[in-house]
Structures are given as C-alpha cells and as structure tokens.
Amino acid sequence: MAKKEIVVREEILGSNKKVAAEIREKLEAAGVLVVNLLSSPGSGKTTLLERLVETLKPAHHLAVIEGDIETERDAERIRRKGVPAWQITTGGACHLEAKMVGKLLPEIPAGTEFLFIENVGNLVCPAGYDLGENIRCVLLSTPEGDDKPKKYPKAFASADCLIITKSDLVPYLPFDLEKSGNEALDLNPRLRIFVTSALKGSGIAALARYFIESRIHMIQRRRHA
Amino acid sequence: MHELSIVASLFEILLAKAQENQATKIVGVKLKVGKLSGVVPEFLQTAFDSYKQDTIASAARLEMEEVPLKLRCRKCAAEIEKEDFVLVCPSCSATDLEILEGMELLLDKIDLEI
C-alpha cells in the first residue's frame, strides 16, 4: 500500500466564494446593487430595512431576501411595505451561504436596482461567507454596548459600512458613540459609519443616499471597465 | 458555530481529491487556519471527528496550523505581525494596511493511501 502526500492549498470555502463571484457579476451586469446586512439578533435589521424601504421605494425598485433560522415573519413585514421579499429559513444553520442566494436569482424581477439581504442574526458565522454583495453592512445597536467591534473583529474588519442603530437610546445608556466608532475604525479604517434611529427616522436618508451613490459608482465603474 | 458546514465543504474537496488520486484511504489532513478566519480550531476538530465516521477518512488525523495576522503598510511598506486587530502601522502610524495573511482557511495538504 503506497502513501502519497498531495499539496492542495485550496480555500475550504472556495466554492462559496466562486458562487458569490458569479452572483455579483450577474447582478452587477443587471444594475442591481447587493447589500448584505450582518448583526446580532435583535439589533434592528428588519426595522431598519422597513425604514429604508419607505425611503427608497417611491423612486427605486427594491427586493429583499430575509435569512432566519425559522419563520416567514421578516419577509412578511417587508412584503407589507409592497416590496418583493423571499424568506430563506436555514433550519438551524447560523448563516446564509451564496448558493442559497443563487437559487433565488431567477425570482428577482427585471429592473431591480437594490437587493438587500438580511443575514441570520449572528455576528460570528455570517462574516465568513461572501453572498455576492457589493456592500457589507454590520449593525451595532446601542443596547449591545460600544465595546463590540473588537470582540467580533471579523464582522467589523470585513464590512464596508457600520450602521449604529437605536441611537435614540443613547441618552439612557452608557454607550459612547465616539468610542464605538473608533473601535471599529481601528479594525477597519475604511469603514463608513452611519448613526441611525429607525424609531425617530434619523440617519436613514443619509444611509439611503450612500446606497444610491454606491450603485451609481458601480454602474460607472462597469461602464469604464 | 459554522464549523460543521466548513467541514462539509472540506469533505467535498477531500473526497474529490481522493477519487482523483484513486486513494483507498485519507490518513492525514493539514489545514492552515488564519487567526482572523473566524474559526475555532477545537470546534473544527470535533466537527471533523464526527463527520469523518463511515468515510474513507475515518482514521484520518487533522492537523491545524494557526496563521498569525500579517499586514503590510501601504505607506511605508513595513511588514508587521500582530497579535491584536488594531490596524495601525507601528512604524509610521498610517491606517492604510493591507492584510497579507491571517484571514485564510486553507486545505494545505492531504496524506493518502493509494
């Protein structure tokens, strides 16, 4: 019986990255900006999405994919706003993978400009899975505490944008906005930071503008490529 | 706790490579696990040991090499190894650092019996 050592040097999640790259290419070519929202459970992803939908929907075509372990609840909340939404229930898995998003691509209506993907609530596992997004947003709600970025470095280091949510609670909490921002910037100096309150509606317009501008840049970049 | 789904992806590659090489057994698997890969080596080991049952890797040994976080400063070109995740260059204080190593999760080598 012969022994043989083979050198592979392959990324274990390479197949996920490959599917993600295909999704990005396909959707970019169709003019769809994809945003992946990551956060711990209860930080306000769905509520933020509801406000974003209200802000963007009058002038833009949107679609939403909701990831949860169980229930259709989040997709129903978005559908009530008149936006097509699909629920992926992972049945226990702690993150979404690119192939789950890939299966839904045929359903995305032509003319969609923004696809928001709400990941399963978890600050650890989703960080390792590219879903084909153009922008990865990590949410940090003020009740979670301003010390979270360095406790969950991968989520913050791999994000393009940090959205601080529930900012209306700052007067009642020992949450230091500047400290949380600086912690996150230490990990990722290129991070864009938005401070929002879905309850009061503050910061939502700036965030919507960031997505609109990012889509314009994406389209221009492809035109010049 | 996404180690089980990582192990499932790992086994897709392992079994394909074993078949390509007409191996009868997988006896050793070596991974490179970046410090910032988000993976807990102990959990990966447990997931590997439960997944390998009833496969040709049932007696395989899993070896994991931790890869430290290695950065290069885009401003002064210094190469830095870091224990923490503060992305500031210790030589020139620039914040424009490129991550060279430490994010990866690689299948490095496989020992087979043919």
At residue A151, the pLDDT reads 87
B-chain residue closest to A155, CA distance: B38
By Cβ distance, the residue of B9, B95, B113 closest to A13 is B9
A-chain residue closest to B85, CA distance: A187
Confidence tier at A214 by pLDDT (50, 70, 90): very high
Asked whether residue B39 is domain-assigned, the answer is: yes
What integer best gives the mean pLDDT of chain A?
Answer: 95
Task: Check whether A106 has a pLDDT greater than 80.
Answer: yes
Please list every residue in chain A whose beta carbon sits closer than 8 Å to the beta carbon of residue B97: 189
CATH, residue B33: 3.30.2320.50
Asked whether residue B17 is domain-assigned, the answer is: yes
Asked whether residue A2 is domain-assigned, the answer is: no
CA angle, A7 then A9 then A15, to 5°? 125
Per-residue pLDDT reduced to its tens digit, A114-136: 999 999 999 988 998 999 999 99
Task: Check whether A56 has a pLDDT greater than 70.
Answer: yes
Interface check for A223 against chain B (CB to CB < 8 A): the answer is no
At residue B93, the pLDDT reads 86
CATH, residue A68: 3.40.50.300
Task: Check whether A37 has a pLDDT greater than 80.
Answer: yes
Number of domains in chain B: 1
Asked whether residue A4 is domain-assigned, the answer is: no
A-chain residue closest to B1, CA distance: A125
At residue B1, the pLDDT reads 61
The span from the CA of B90 to the CA of B88, in Å, is: 6
Select the residue from B5, B24, B73 to test the A interface by mutation, using most A Cβ atoms within 10 A.
B5
Q: Which domain holds residue B7?
A: 3-68+102-113
The span from the CA of B2 to the CA of A124, in Å, is: 9
Confidence tier at B10 by pLDDT (50, 70, 90): very high
What integer best gives the mean pLDDT of chain B?
Answer: 91
Asked whether residue B37 is domain-assigned, the answer is: yes
Average pLDDT over residues A13-27: 96
Confidence tier at A1 by pLDDT (50, 70, 90): confident
Per-residue pLDDT reduced to its tens digit, A168-209: 999 999 999 999 999 999 888 889 999 999 999 999 999 999
- Give the number of A-B residue pairs with CB atoms closer than 8 Å: 103
Q: Both tokens of residue A39?
A: 């956060």
Asked whether residue A5 is domain-assigned, the answer is: no
B-chain residue closest to A149, CA distance: B85
Encode burial over A49-81: b for 16+ CB neighbours within 10 A, e otherwise.
bbbbbebbeeebbbbbbbbbeeeeebbebbbeb
Please list every residue in chain B whose beta carbon sits closer than 8 Å to the beta carbon of residue A93: 2, 5
The span from the CA of B25 to the CA of B7, in Å, is: 18
pTM to 2 decimal places? 0.90
Closest CA to A52 of A131, A105, A113: A113
Q: At which residue do the structure tokens 């490579």 appear?
A: B17
Q: Which domain holds residue A194?
A: 14-224
* C-alpha distance from A212 to closest chain B C-alpha (Å): 26
The ipTM of this complex is: 0.86
Asked whether residue B62 is domain-assigned, the answer is: yes
